[in-house]
Structures are given as C-alpha cells and as structure tokens.
Chains A and B, each alone.
Chain A
C-alpha cells in the first residue's frame, strides 16, 4: 500500500519547504546528532501533515509553528530517553535551546541559506574579513588578489547578501 497521491504530494511539498531549516534547527537541539535530528524532522513533518489546518498562514507564521513543534518533539524524546536509565550519555534538558530562541534559530538558517546563495568569490571575502577576522591586506594575500579588489568585492558581497536575505524575508 502506498500513500495516496494527494497526501503524498502534500507531504513532499512540506518536505521541500521545511525539511532543511528544520534539520538545521534539530541539529542545534540535539547538539549535532544527525540520527536524532532526522527523527525530529520526520515526526514534526508528520504532525504538520496530520494537521494541515495548522499550516494556514492566517493562523501565524508556519515555520515558527513547525520549529515549536520540533522543539516539543525534541523535549519529549529527551524525557523518554531519560526515563530509561540504561541509556547513557544524555545531556541535561536545559541544554535544549529555550523556546524564545526560535526566532534566532530561524534567522540562523536563513543567514546560512543566503550565504550559500552567494558566488564563491563573494562568500570567500566575507569569510576571510568577517568570520576569520583578517584585514584587507591579509585577505588579499590569502586569496591572491589585490587589496583594492578585496575592498570592492567585500562591498558588493555585502550588497548581494542583503539582497539574498531580503529575498528570504529577512528585513532589517
């Protein structure tokens, strides 16, 4: 037996729209445990699929709701594991990021996604100057390009990043 056509499509659409940001968030919730994170994503999307009315944008931002569901799934799973003393190596519940961290987590994924949309050249200058804290002269040496190019490329990379974020609904 297979899932009927329409429901199958609904689930695929949910997956395409939300699986990646949810996985990114779940990895934060589980401290990078890929297996547990995939379980959280699966359970979250199944709940959304069971309750399509909750996905109505009129009822609030869909992705925030999904992140809240994911966090609850993570907390439940954590408690269930803790109830079984044979399983070792569990972190305290307090390590699961607080619910009010959800907007930040949403932004994090959007920033990572926008960064991935930049050209390699643009991304490289931002990594060197911002993330690795290099000066224009140092970045020029590492990248093998003139200092003037580092400056102009940094400027245009920031403009491109701003545009990419705006396309993803992040406005400042």
Chain B
C-alpha cells in the first residue's frame, strides 16, 4: 500500500535525499495525488522544527524540579501571612483616618503604629490610585489599583526615597478600561520610601504623591 516513494517523502521534505532520489520523488509526486496530499500535510513541520535548537531537540525542554515547587509554596505561605498582618494594619489605619483627615485632595491613610505596611489613595485629573506598600526583605512591595489612565498609554511607576533616589518600580501598558491592578517592587527600603510617581514613557507626570 505504502510505496517506497511515499515513505521517502519524509527524507525528501527534510532535504536528506541525494539528487537522484530527489528527482525520483519529484517525478512520482507529479503523478500521485496521495503523495502530494501527504507532503502538504507534513510541509509545516520543518518550519516548526526550526523553532528549537539541536540541543533542545535532543534534551527536550529544561526540566523543572520539586525544589522549585517547594520554594513557590513557601513564598505563597509567606505572602498569606503578610496579607493577614496587612489587614490588621489597615484596620488600625482606618481608625486613624477618622482623626487624620485628608490633605489637599490627597488623602494619606497612614497608621501611626504600622511599621511594615500601609496604603495611600491619591488622585490627579482623571487618574486615581490606591497603593499598598509592604516591607519586603529586599525593599518594598507595591500593589497598585489604578483607574483613569488613557488607554494604550505606556506607564511606569517611579519610587523616590528620602535621599531623592529614583527607581522604576514597575511598568505596564494601559490597554485596559476601568481599573487595573499592578504589582511592583522597589529596592528602596520601606521606611525610606517617600514619594511615588506615575508617568508615561515620554516622561509626562500623571500623578505624584507623598507616601
């Protein structure tokens, strides 16, 4: 049923036949519809195969191991614990706000007792931001809820320390409508973080707030 020419199609497709055999296959193809269909069916494969190197073809994709999973689970546990602390801090902060009030359109909800986490709400023009800052071992973790940025705008979050050092803490493209949640990190330690700026890639300041 399967002719020698048919079986040679694979080597033909991969360019492994010598010129004489190649000519034979081509002659056969001109008169065999089944082989032409088979060839058309297999034709996309060399293009896909070219996506990987010979090493990847031999060894397969890089393996993941259990140690990676363990680290992931540990990180999630740590994060859940932080979230519990943050909720407690926010409860304290909410109580504080009743006394603290707001300053010039920018309400600063900062707990007098919170040492590792607090949040700030700020607005400028149409842009509104709620940001939670949490002390992390390597700096400060930031979770931003943002709305009112023109869509398609490429933005970045800049963190500024008490010494004036600036650091990009996150970047994103505003392809959303409504509210977006962005996670960022900065190497600036929590207690030294003073200001956050949201600006476009062109350097247009959309919002600046003290934290």
Q: How large is the interface on A (under 10, 10 to 19, 20 to 34, 35 or more residues)?
A: 35 or more
B46: CB under 8 A from chain A?
Answer: yes
A126 close to B57 (CB less than 8 A): yes
- A108-142 CB mask vs B (1 if < 8 Å, else 0) is 11011101100000010011011111111101000
Chain B residues with Cβ below 8 Å from A111 are 48-49, 51-52
Interface residues of B in 173-211 (CB under 8 A from A): 181, 183-187
CB distance from A166 to the nearest CB of B (A): 11
How long is the Cα–Cα vector from A151 to B14 in the complex, in angstroms?
11
User: Is A45 close to B, CB under 8 A?
Assistant: yes
Flag B39-67 by CB within 8 Å of A: 1 or 0 each: 00110111011011110111011111000
Are B45 and A161 interface neighbours, CB within 8 A? yes
Q: How far is the CA of A19 from the CA of B109 in the complex (A)?
A: 38
Interface residues of chain B, those whose CB is within 8 Å of chain A, are 6-11, 13-18, 21, 41-42, 44-46, 48-49, 51-54, 56-58, 60-64, 68-69, 71-73, 75-77, 79-81, 166-172, 181, 183-187
19 new A-B contacts, CB < 8 A, other than A3-B76, A155-B6, are A3-B73, A11-B72, A15-B72, A20-B62, A23-B64, A24-B62, A45-B72, A50-B183, A72-B172, A111-B48, A115-B49, A130-B49, A131-B57, A134-B16, A151-B10, A151-B11, A155-B9, A161-B49, A172-B44
